[in-house]
């Protein structure tokens, strides 16, 4: 085992040296000849560990991605030749890879039209055909959302060397940005052909590169590291986001969670203690009051600044008795409309004591659509209404 570890450490050290040489040199051919021996011995998991180390060095992301692209171009053959077994067709990873395959089909089908467009950029029919083809790729953004929000968190839990995921996520952003830009360029009256070609060239390169890196580097390690049951459990939430091009034939049966275990309440999207639940509700910048399906007040939050006063005496009280006679008919109409399924939201905004207040009522329904009550949410929005432009930087200093 120690001999294996030593060989792995040696490979990573040499690959790190190669990466630094790539950043410092444009002569990739010379580097290939100099580092041929280590290149030929590289295995897929080396890339995971190498990139994890590089990310920890805080190399600027643009520089890091550029170096990784050049490095993986050098390593493409040994990585492609490494023994590989595709996942079962309808397994979770198999479903992801089938969506990848269909994405590649769409890219390949679009290539002839893009090539023809370079010869006749004024051809309106050709421009529309390319535009339609690019727009057909937009749903693939959901594939990246599934990876980022479902698969990546599971990988982070099981693989200490997970930092390569941040680099892959950045490439996802490049792909989304280039696809959006290419569509915008085609939609303009005057097509900037050089800019369009740069944009689509980057798009094609990145989408193909990410697919290769998933299927020949990341996913095999995922299959070896993460229990298959945990991977398959991701299918239900993935279906909620929606796969872009291929949907599995079977609908997963969600496991019924144990509602309370180890002092934690299972909320479906997380497990929290009662103290954490109270902290969460009481730190939201809103007043919350919950009335159940029997019109009884069952809960109210206690933020630092309450908009409307509440006391514990209200708990269990009929909501119809909590409002002045002059306005109780409005509450009754809202509740009745919610109960009958005619409406789901009622909103009001008022001025009070120099502040602008937004008061909203939301119908609560269970998974079967049965009315389970109403939640009142009140918020002071004076500062929100004064927002203009954008703020993207932190200005605490």
In terms of pLDDT, which residue wins out, 131 or 262? 131
pLDDT in tens, 81-95: 999 899 998 899 999
Band (pLDDT 50/70/90 cuts) for residue 360 is very high
Q: Do 161 and 25 belong to one domain?
A: no
Q: What's the confidence (pLDDT) of residue 259? A: 67
In terms of pLDDT, which residue wins out, 59 or 310? 59
List phi, psi (to 5°) of 272: -130, 150
Work out the percent of the chain whose per-residue pLDDT is above 90: 65
Closest residue by Cα to residue 223 from 47, 104, 88, 78: 88
Over range 15-24, report the average pLDDT. Answer: 88
Q: Do 115 and 20 belong to one domain?
A: no
Give whole-number Cα distances, 137 to 85, 141, 171, 181, in Å.
28, 8, 16, 13
Q: Do 107 and 164 belong to one domain?
A: yes
Work out the percent of the chain whose per-residue pLDDT is above 70: 94
Whether 265 maps to a domain, the answer reads no
106: CATH:
1.20.120.520
Whether 267 maps to a domain, the answer reads no
Q: Do 115 and 212 belong to one domain?
A: yes
Whether 258 maps to a domain, the answer reads no
Whether 360 maps to a domain, the answer reads yes
Q: Do 299 and 182 belong to one domain?
A: no
Evaluate if residue 255 carries a pLDDT over 70: no
Evaluate if residue 1 carries a pLDDT over 50: no
Mean pLDDT of the chain: 89
Over range 125-131, report the average pLDDT. Answer: 95
What total of structural domains would you count in the chain? 3
At residue 258, the 3 state secondary structure works out as coil
Residues of 185-223 as b/e, b for ≥16 C-beta within 10 angstroms?
bbeeeebeeeebeebbebbbebbebbbebbbbbbbbbbe
Q: Do 174 and 50 belong to one domain?
A: no
Q: What's the confidence (pLDDT) of residue 246? A: 95
Q: Do 11 and 104 belong to one domain?
A: no
Q: What's the confidence (pLDDT) of residue 35? A: 87
pLDDT in tens, 188-225: 888 999 999 999 999 999 999 999 999 999 999 999 99
Specify which of 82-86, 94-98, 285-289 reaches the highest per-range mean pLDDT. 94-98
Q: Do 124 and 231 belong to one domain?
A: yes
Q: What's the confidence (pLDDT) of residue 6? A: 47
Q: Do 191 and 222 belong to one domain?
A: yes
Q: Which of 193, 219, 241 is the last residue of a domain?
A: 241
Evaluate if residue 250 carries a pLDDT over 70: no
Evaluate if residue 254 carries a pLDDT over 70: no
Q: Do 227 and 135 belong to one domain?
A: yes
Whether 247 maps to a domain, the answer reads no
d(CA 272, CA 260): 10
The contacts of residue 375 (CB under 8 Å, 6+ apart) are: 288, 289, 290, 291, 361, 362, 364
Sequence-ordered strand ranges (E) for the chain = 260-261, 264-266, 271-272, 287-292, 297-300, 345-352, 355-365, 371-380
Q: Which of 81, 102, 134 is the last residue of a domain?
A: 81
Whether 315 maps to a domain, the answer reads yes
pLDDT in tens, 218-238: 999 999 999 999 999 999 989
Would you state the structure tokens that stand for residue 360, as one six-digit string? 């909203």
Evaluate if residue 261 carries a pLDDT over 80: no
Q: Do 298 and 356 belong to one domain?
A: yes
360: CATH:
3.30.450.20
Q: What's the confidence (pLDDT) of residue 256? A: 55
In terms of pLDDT, which residue wins out, 260 or 212? 212
Q: Do 204 and 121 belong to one domain?
A: yes
Q: At what angle do helices 44-56 and 164-187 cross, to 10 degrees?
A: 90
Whether 286 maps to a domain, the answer reads yes
Q: What's the confidence (pLDDT) of residue 257? A: 57
Structural domain for 176, as ranges = 92-241
Over range 162-169, report the average pLDDT. Answer: 95
Whether 390 maps to a domain, the answer reads no
Evaluate if residue 252 carries a pLDDT over 60: no
Over range 37-61, report the average pLDDT. Answer: 92
Band (pLDDT 50/70/90 cuts) for residue 53 is very high
Evaluate if residue 116 carries a pLDDT over 80: yes
Write the DSSP symbol of residue 135.
H
């Amino acid at each position: 085992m120690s001999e294996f570890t030593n060989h792995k450490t040696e490979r990573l050290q040499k690959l790190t040296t190669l990466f630094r040489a790539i950043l410092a040199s444009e002569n990739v051919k010379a580097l290939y000849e100099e580092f041929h021996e280590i290149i030929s011995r590289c295995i897929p998991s080396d890339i995971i560990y190498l990139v994890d180390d590089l990310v920890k060095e805080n190399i600027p992301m643009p520089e890091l991605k550029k170096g990784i692209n050049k490095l993986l171009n050098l390593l493409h053959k040994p990585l492609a030749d490494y023994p590989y077994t595709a996942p079962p067709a309808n397994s979770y990873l198999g479903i992801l890879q089938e969506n990848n395959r269909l994405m590649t089909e769409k890219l390949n089908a679009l290539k002839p039209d893009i090539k023809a467009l370079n010869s006749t950029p004024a051809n309106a029919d050709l421009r529309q055909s390319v535009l339609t083809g690019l727009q057909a790729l937009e749903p693939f953004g959901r594939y990246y959302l599934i990876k980022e929000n479902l698969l990546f968190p599971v990988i982070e839990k099981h693989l200490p060397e997970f930092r390569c995921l941040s680099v892959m996520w950045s490439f996802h952003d490049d792909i989304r940005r280039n696809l959006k830009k290419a569509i915008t360029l085609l939609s303009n009256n005057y097509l900037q052909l050089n800019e369009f070609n740069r944009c689509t060239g980057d798009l094609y390169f990145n989408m193909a590169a990410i697919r290769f890196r998933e299927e020949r580097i990341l996913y095999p390690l995922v299959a070896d590291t993460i229990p298959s049951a945990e991977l398959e459990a991701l299918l239900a939430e993935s279906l909620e986001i929606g796969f872009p091009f291929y949907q599995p034939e079977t609908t997963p049966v969600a496991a019924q969670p144990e509602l309370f275990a180890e002092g934690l309440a299972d909320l479906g999207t997380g497990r929290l203690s009662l103290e954490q639940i109270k902290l969460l509700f009481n730190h939201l910048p809103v007043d919350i009051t919950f009335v159940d399906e029997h019109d009884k007040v069952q809960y109210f939050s206690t933020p630092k600044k309450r908009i409307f006063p509440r006391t514990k005496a209200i708990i269990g009280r009929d909501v119809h008795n909590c409002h002045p006679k002059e306005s109780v008919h409005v509450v009754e109409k809202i509740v009745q409309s919610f109960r009958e399924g005619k409406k789901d939201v009622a909103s009001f905004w008022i001025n009070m004591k120099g502040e602008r207040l937004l008061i909203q009522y939301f119908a609560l329904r269970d998974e079967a659509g049965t009315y389970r009550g109403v939640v009142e949410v009140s918020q002071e929005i004076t500062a929100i209404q004064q927002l203009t432009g954008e703020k993207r930087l932190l200005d605490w200093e």
